[in-house]
Amino acid sequence: MTAVLTTTDDVATTASDLLGWQVQSAAPVRRGGNNRIFLLTGKEARAALKFYPSQDEDPRDRLGQEFAALSFLQRHGIDDVPRPLACDPSRHCAAYEWIEGSTIDQAGVEDVDELADFFIRLQGLRDRAGSQLLGTASAACLSPAMVAGQVRERLDRLREVISPASQVTEFVVGSLAPAADAAAERLSAACAAAGIAFAEPLPRRLQALSPSDFGFHNALRRPDGRLVFVDFEYFGWDDPAKAIADVMLHPGMTLPHDLGARYRARVEGALRRSDDSLSFRLDLLFPSMVLLWCLILLNEFLPERWTRRAVAGQRNDREDAQARQLQKARDLFSRNMA
């Protein structure tokens, strides 16, 4: 694992080389789970510098994927995302337009519509130049078999590391594991009944361009009230049914049921004109997506997650963080699987 630069002077020097103008200060503005972001200030300019620490347990090229995604979006007129400026893969960093905005603590109907409309606009780029060069989204689920496989892999990995006599084991063994078995059986049976190939990937013509980690937790509100969307390191092709479910379930924003349903209706209504099986797939996959998100919340119990947190500069109390995530997973399960 490669460590990121640790002093602001080092960051400023690296950024000056990268941008071609003198960076006078580099101030840390966010320490995320996977990266660090700095506000760069020069005499007449500002920018954001994002570091992507390499991770032995996660070989995905998050820098390359995000920079390529934002470059593609910029070329095709999407202006409510950060403009990519320069990148240096050897130093695991990239510079982007600095976005002046505030976090979205309380989302309303208009915000949900703006979120949905952004996703719908992305689908207008599916046949544009360069779209076929984009990879699949991170953790894409292009077939029912892929969904069931991801649930099983995450469940098996978690079982390897959790203590037998613990609250998380009680939840995993008593709730998640039986629900995963039932969901896998339901997926297989429903595909057989509908004549859908369980393991055949969704045709590219029906796949969506998805930010993947998409929602208000990765958006800012500009001073004029408009939203701008950030964090595209997992961007790529995916089943729109999975992408819709992700927004409805994402614990980073916890949409109320009515707003989640509104998001689904708006996106579904726009896309099902060219994808008449979208509603069926969404209903079919939704219980398994609930389980996937429960297991993602429980990633805090994986030892490699805490190594990653340390590299990104986080120093959260491990037991407290795990307790919070376990409660969130229980709440998500009870809201959707009871």
129 and 76 in one domain? no
126 and 76 in one domain? no
Rg (CA), the chain: 20
User: Last residue of a domain, which of 37, 68, 97?
Assistant: 97
Q: How many domains does the chain have?
A: 2
293 and 148 in one domain? yes
- Determine, yes or no, domain membership for 184: yes
Which pLDDT does position 60 carry in this prediction? 85
283 and 153 in one domain? yes
| φ/ψ (deg, to 5) at 29 | -120, -20
From residue 325, give the alpha-carbon distance in Å to each of 138, 159, 254, 329: 22, 16, 13, 6
- Determine, yes or no, domain membership for 104: no
121 and 42 in one domain? no
pTM of this prediction?
A: 0.91
Helix 240-249, helix 109-123: angle, nearest 10: 160
- Determine, yes or no, domain membership for 3: no
| CB distance 325 to 300 below 8 Å | yes
Distance from chain centroid for Cα 212? 4
- Over the stretch 146-195, which tens digit does the pLDDT of each residue have? 999 999 999 999 999 999 989 999 999 999 999 999 999 999 999 999 98
User: Last residue of a domain, which of 65, 97, 129?
Assistant: 97
Domain range for residue 246?
109-337
Q: What is residue 302's three-state secondary structure?
A: coil
114 and 56 in one domain? no
- Determine, yes or no, domain membership for 156: yes
* Sign, CA torsion 100/105/111/117: positive
Of the pLDDT bands very low, low, confident and very high (cuts 50, 70, 90), residue 308 is low
- Determine, yes or no, domain membership for 2: no
128 and 170 in one domain? yes
264 and 117 in one domain? yes
164 and 290 in one domain? yes
Residue at token pair 């703006």: 114
217 and 80 in one domain? no
| CATH number, domain containing residue 250 | 3.90.1200
- Over the stretch 22-58, which tens digit does the pLDDT of each residue have? 999 999 986 555 678 999 999 989 999 999 987 666 7
| CB distance 322 to 301 below 8 Å | yes
117 and 91 in one domain? no
120 and 79 in one domain? no
How many other C-beta atoms lie within 10 A of the C-beta of residue 296?
18
Give the C-alpha separation, 43 to 108, whole Å.
38
Segment 95-111 shows an average pLDDT of 94
Segment 296-303 shows an average pLDDT of 94
Give the C-alpha separation, 37 to 39, whole Å.
7
* Sign, CA torsion 89/90/92/98: negative
